[in-house]
Structure formats: C-alpha cells, structure tokens
Amino acid sequence: MKNFSRKQFLKTAAGAALVMATRVFSTPLHAADKFFREPPWKRKKPYWGFAVDITKCIGCGRCADACKTENEVPREAFYFRTWVERYIIRRNGEVNVDSPNGGMDPFLPPHDPETVTKSFFVPKLCGHCENSPCEQVCPVGATFKTEDGVVLVDRKYCIGCRYCIQACPYGCRYFHPVLHVADKCTLCYHRIKKGLNTACVEVCPTGARMFGDLSDPKSAITKFYETETTNVLKASMGTEPKLLYKGLDKEVR
C-alpha cells in the first residue's frame, strides 16, 4: 500500500467504474451490439431475407393486393404493408413519384411523355432491419425480432404510442385504424412457418420479388445476395435492412 496514493486510488477506481459501466450498458445497446457478432444468418437456421429486382417489376400491383387480402390489412388507401411506387425522371432532372392506391390502381400515362428520360417501379416493404430502430424505440418491447430474423409487432401488447412509426426511416409502419396499434409487414410469418412463400412473392408474375433462407448456402436468395450488384435504401442510416434491391436508382428514397 505504501506507494498507493489517494490520487492513484481514485484513478484506479474511476477506471474500474468506467469499464464496468461500459460492460453493463454496451450489452443491450444496438449500436455496440453489432460489433461483437458475425451476421446472424451464419449462426441461426433458418434466417429469412428478401430481395427485389427493380428491373423486373412491371408495376401490376398484385403484390399489394395479395398482401391486403392475405393479412386483412384495412382496404383504405393509406394502409399498406407493401406498395409499389413509380418513379418518372425527366430531362430537366425533375422527379415525379406516384403510387395510386399503393399501385393497386392503374398507373396513368405520364403527362408530357416526350420529356421523360426513364421510368421504373419500386416495390417497397419492411426490410426487417438487423439494427431496427423501431424495435429499439418501443417502450414496452411490443416490437421484437424473432430468432429467424423477422421484425414483428405484438398486437396484444402494443400501447399505440406511435414512437416506432416516427423511428422507421422507410415509412413501413402504419397505425391500425381498428386495433389502434402499430402494424407492419410480418413477412407472412404464418405462411413462412409452414414452408410457404409470402403472399406477395407468390403472386408476383415476373419474379421481381424474392424471398428465402439466408442461412442456406444453396438457396436462390443467398445466391442473389452473393452474386448480384445490389443496394439497400438509406444505407447511411446503418439499419442494415435484409431487403436488397437490384437496379436501385439514386433518386429512390
């Protein structure tokens, strides 16, 4: 003890306290969590992923319709678990985006078609993010991630504070007008558990939507993830969605 001055003691104590605090707080925090682990699909079986090939989408909107039918989503035009947007890029750089009734109604021909340089359809849905902000902010843990990587809402536990709706950068959540809770894409969890495809993938006539098990090295989705040139929406947010797009234009938000 002879060389152990009070200053040293305080230094040591502060250091120890800092280490302990870091340990205690880093475990549950999302940001810290991701540095300590490998991708979950290397550890867990199965682990679901989704992909969209924008170059194949024809904007028929059957996915949006099938989703509403399968999941009993309210039919009004504001409630969608998946929807299709049409982007029209014009020569002067102007961008028009429309989505008539989520793509279920016909897309009308654009005005001044001679000024249009390109146009494409972008189907959207929940990305079931690895670092999902919606799960992070839910005050009661009603939003959670399943073992197989699907972000779900417990409708019986949600208190309807709508904090998760603010937290989602992709606008994928809505407030259920009858149940008064937050609602979103479940990746047709009731179907995939039985080995079926999601409803939207099932009805897609061009194969623009893809769904599968990322933990299976031979699956089509794994091949798509590994070999195609893809991108995610708003990559800078660090949410790491498991929804990859092929042919994503820079104008897509």
Partner 1 sequence: MFNLFKFLRLSAAEVLDGDWRYYAWMSGLALLSLAGLNAYSVQLVHGLGTTGMSDHVSWGLYIANFTFLVGMAAAAVMMVIPVYVYHDEPLHDVVIFGELLAIASIVMCILFVSVDLGRPERVWHMAPPPLGKFNWPDSMLSWDVIVLNGYLFINAYVAGYLLYMKFLRKEPLKILYIPFVLLSIVWAVSIHTVTAFLYQGLAARPFWHSSIIAPRFLASAFTAGPAFIILTLQLIRKFTAYRIADAAMLRLRNVVQVAIAINLFLFASELFKELYIPDEHAVHMQYLMFGLHGHNGLVPWIWTALAIEAVAIALLMLPASRSMKWLNLACVFAVVGVWIEKGMGFIIPAFIPNPLGEIVEYLPTLNETLICVGVWAFGFFIYTAILKAAVPILTGRLRLGGVPYTAEAGMEPGGIPKPDFGAGFRPQGARWVDPGPPGR
Name the residues that contact partner 1, by CB under 8 A. 25, 28-30, 78-79, 85, 97, 133, 136-142, 157-163, 165-171, 174-175, 177-178, 180-181, 237-238, 253
Residues 22, 32: Cα–Cα separation, whole Å: 10
Between residues 237 and 248, which has the closer beta carbon with respect to partner 1? 237
Question: Minimum CB separation from partner 1 for residue 183, in Å?
Answer: 10
Question: Minimum CB separation from partner 1 for residue 96, in Å?
Answer: 11
Between residues 99 and 215, which has the closer beta carbon with respect to partner 1? 99
| Torsion (CA) 18, 19, 23, 24 in degrees, nearest 10 | -40
Between residues 196 and 235, which has the closer beta carbon with respect to partner 1? 235
Residues 56, 236: Cα–Cα separation, whole Å: 26
Question: Minimum CB separation from partner 1 for residue 137, in Å?
Answer: 5
Burial of residue 140 (CB within 10 Å: 0-12, 13-18, 19+) is exposed
Structure tokens at 235: 């990559």
Look at residues 218, 217, 215 and name the one whose alpha carbon lies nearest to residue 242.
215
Between residues 171 and 217, which has the closer beta carbon with respect to partner 1? 171
**What is the phi/psi pair of residue 119, to 5°?**
-150, 140
Residue type, 2: K
Question: Minimum CB separation from partner 1 for residue 45, in Å?
Answer: 26
Question: Minimum CB separation from partner 1 for residue 215, in Å?
Answer: 26
Between residues 168 and 192, which has the closer beta carbon with respect to partner 1? 168
